[in-house]
Structure 1
Amino acid sequence: MEIHLIRHTAVENPENLCYGFAEMPLRKDYPEDFNRLEIDDDYDIVVSSPSQRCCLLADYFKLDYQTDERLREMNFGNWEMKKWTDIPEEEINPWYKDFVNIKATDGENLVEMQARVFSFWNEFVLKNDINKILIITHAGVIRLILQTVLQFPLENMFNIQIDYGKKVIINVNEGIFSVKKMNV
């Protein structure tokens, strides 16, 4: 099986707002960004985060896709759409020190997000009838999938750069995973 993970293209966020679950528009020139993407035409299945910034990409390429809530970015709860600098220090500092276990009020922590993504991953990876899948999602989701494949500590996940509008390709052969390409 070949798994293509693609991050949505760049967003319009001049005020440096915190967003994950919240809808954040793609930059105004997003069709130009889409034109630079290389999307294959032989996927057995295409699954997208339901976030508009992901579905727009699937719609642009006229892909037959389904959405899955488990592919959403982290839920930052009450921090969503606030400037990072406006989040009270007594809330954000504990998260900076332990983003794996600490969460925003009404949000989720990384362990909870990991369980959500892992549920999706197990469901689709265990299907034997899929040769090639495209997953349109977010940097956090892709990092968590890579963490599952490569088995590195969760606290190291932000050491992996996942570029806007780029793919990660993973091969699965007889239960063995290999990362074939990054940011292509």
Structure 2
Amino acid sequence: MEIHLIRHTAVHNPDNVCYGRSDISLVENHIEDFDKVAIDQDYDLVLSSPALRCQSLVQHYNLSYDIDPRLSEYNFGNWEQQKWSDIPKDEIEPWYDDFVNIKPPNGEDLLEMQLRVMSVWEELIAKQKYKKVLVITHAGVIRLVFQSILAFPLDKMFNIFVEHGKKNIITVDKKILTIKQINV
């Protein structure tokens, strides 16, 4: 099985707001960005995050797809849609120090997100009934998949750059998972 993980295309965020689970607009020329994404037409299964920035890409290519909320980006809770610079220091500094275990108010910590993402990932891998799968999602989700394959510490996940609108290919042969290509 081959799994194509694609991060949504670039968002319009001139005010540098914190966004994860909340919907945020794509850049003005997003159709041009969509046309540059390397999406095939022969997927056996297409999954998308519920975020409109992900669904819009799948819809542009007129692919039939299923929405899985477990593919959502990190939930920043009360910080969603606030400027990063406006988030109170007494809230954000502990999170900066330990984003794996500390959660934003009314949000989730990285371990909770990891459980959510791994549940859908493990289901997909266990089935192995598909030849080629497309997953349109977010950088955080893709980084967690890489982390599960490479088994590096969670606090190092931001060391992997996941580019907007680029494909990451993972092959699955029985129980062997291989990262074949990144950001293509």
User: What's the TM-score bracket when you normalise by the shorter of the two chains?
Assistant: over 0.9
Give the CA deviation at 1:128: 2.6
Which position in structure 2 is the counterpart of 1:66? Answer: 66
Matches within 5 A, 1:1-184: 1-184=1-184
The amino acid across from 1:180 in the alignment is: K
Give 3-state SS (helix, strand or coil) of 2:118's partner. helix
Q: Find the aligned partners of 1:50 and 1:171 in 2 and give their Cα distance.
A: 25
**Cα offset for 1:68?**
0.3
Question: What stretches of structure 2 of length at least 5 have no aligned partner?
Answer: none
Distance 2:103 2:83 in 1: 17
Q: 1:174: how far off?
A: 1.8
The AA in structure 2 aligned to 1:59 is Q
The alpha carbon displacement at 1:105 in A equals 0.6
Matched residue count:
184
* Structure 2 CA distance for aligned equivalents of residues 20 and 26 of structure 1: 14
Gaps of 5+ in 1: none
CA RMSD of aligned residues (A): 0.5
Q: Distance in 1 between matches of 2:128 and 2:11?
A: 35
Task: Tell me the TM-score normalized by structure 1.
Answer: 0.99
Name the amino acid aligned to 2:28.
K
Secondary structure of the equivalent of 1:126? helix
Aligned to 1:107, the other structure's residue is in SS state coil
For 1:127, the aligned partner's letter is K
Cα distance in 1 between the residues matched to 2:128 and 2:160: 29
